[in-house]
Structure 1
Amino acid sequence: MPSNEEFTAYFRNQPLMAILRGLGESKSLALAEQAWDLGIGLVELPIQTDEDLRALRAVAAAGKMRGHLVGAGTVVTPEHVDQAKAAGASFTVSPGLDLTVVEASSKAGMPSLPGVATASEVQLALSSGLTWMKAFPSALLGPGWFKAMAGPFPQARFVATGGMDSANATQFLAAGAQVVAVGSALEDPKQLPRLADIVSG
């Protein structure tokens, strides 16, 4: 049975994760460096094109030099798992819960963070050995979703993803999300000081 308990160590003292989607190699590198400088240790690059894979390779190599882990996102097939591994990813993230992808990622040595949005999916993930999940799309689910899930599933750990920024991150963290994943917020200079405040606690 696969496990993704590694995320407990990965996300220790890390309330934010960065998602760099479709930005190309140079911009992804620049924003990854910015995230690391802010204190955001984990970066995810969704892989949907060849350019995305080139960006992942570059950011993963840069992260390794600085001691940071870089993951591959939008991993929805075992083939994506293979591509992520070859590009240097340390973990995979998926929009939904597909145990075939979870198993392939685990076998490749990369913990998988599957997406969930319902109690049934959370229950299935937990019964499959997964304690960490990506709650997606969090902005639509709302903070109340996290409070509701904590009742029947106190052992579940959630990364709030989708529509997150410096304005609502603390609200979702307070509602029970362990981590909030931000994307475009990193491109907004006005949000950077607030993101730094969240990281520093």
Structure 2
Amino acid sequence: MTFDELLDGRPLVAILRGVPIPRALQIARAVWDSGLGVVEVPIQNPAAVECLRALAGHGHPVGAGTVRSPEQVAVAAEAGAVFTVAPGLDLDVVRASHDAGLPHLPGVATASEVHHALRAGCHWLKAFPAGSLGPGWLREMRGPFPEAKFVATGGVGAHNARDYLTAGARALGVGGAVTRDGGLPPLLEVLRTT
């Protein structure tokens, strides 16, 4: 599966960091039922890997986030992830993910990182931290890198989602605004009307 397939018509990557399995499943079901997104579980500890494994067993695409080493790629694949996400660009992680058959979404924040990620075969890129980079960064990167497809991540919520999408983000990676009580419905409403 590719990100073109995963994110076609699904502009939300819901990031479930540190969320207990019952709550993660509740949020994931709401995201899946909306038809507007996929779910990512950052795998920074064994409990998070178990959460990923539990969600992956429900027949919907689930990715592993904060994948920073080839060893974590192996853990993600074994737990049922169908894609990997990283906060930065590490070519060893890119290769390990591709070798495992998992599309990889590397974090980028500079033109050089965008350039190197594209050369490594990653056309979907995580603009991180989007809250610091701002929508203008996306507009400016689209000029020299029109083939790049950005997922704006970090500091994104219902209050600014439309700004990032208008600036050219193909999808939004959203954590806090999704996991906060009452945070998901307003975000989904913005995505439905954008």
TM-score range, shorter chain: over 0.9
CA contact (8 A) 1:158 1:179 kept: yes
What's the CA shift for 1:184?
A: 2.0
Give the % identical residues.
51
What's the CA shift for 1:25?
A: 1.6
CA contact (8 A) 1:92 1:111 kept: yes
Equivalent of 2:55, from 35, 59, 63?
59
Task: Give the stretch that moved more between structures: 180-189 or 141-150.
Answer: 180-189
Give the whole-Å Cα distance in 2 for the aligned partners of 1:116 and 1:100.
15
Deviations 1:14-42 (A, max 9, x none): 12110000112222112111222233331
Give the whole-Å Cα distance in 2 for the aligned partners of 1:120 and 1:76.
19
**One-letter code of the match for 1:33?**
R
Give the whole-Å Cα distance in 2 for the aligned partners of 1:38 and 1:17.
12
Give the whole-Å Cα distance in 1 for the aligned partners of 2:93 and 2:184.
34
What's the CA shift for 1:187?
A: 3.5
Give the whole-Å Cα distance in 1 for the aligned partners of 2:181 and 2:66.
26
**Structure 1 residue matching 2:57: 3-state secondary structure:** helix
In structure 1, runs of 5+ residues without a counterpart are none
- Asked if 1:84 corresponds to 2:80, the answer is no
TM-score when normalising by structure 2:
0.94
Partner residue in 2 for 1:26:
22
Give the whole-Å Cα distance in 2 for the aligned partners of 1:104 and 1:189.
36
Computed over aligned residues only, the root mean square deviation of the Cα atoms, in angstroms, reads 1.4
Task: Give the stretch that moved more between structures: 166-175 or 33-42.
Answer: 33-42
Residues 157-172 of structure 1 mapped to structure 2, 5 A cutoff: 157-172=149-164
In structure 2, runs of 5+ residues without a counterpart are none
**Structure 2 residue matching 1:194: 3-state secondary structure:** helix
Where relative contact order (Cα < 8 A, 6+ residues apart) is larger, the structure is 1
TM-score when normalising by structure 1:
0.91
Q: How many residue pairs get matched?
A: 193
Task: Give the stretch that moved more between structures: 27-36 or 76-85.
Answer: 27-36
- Asked if 1:180 corresponds to 2:172, the answer is yes
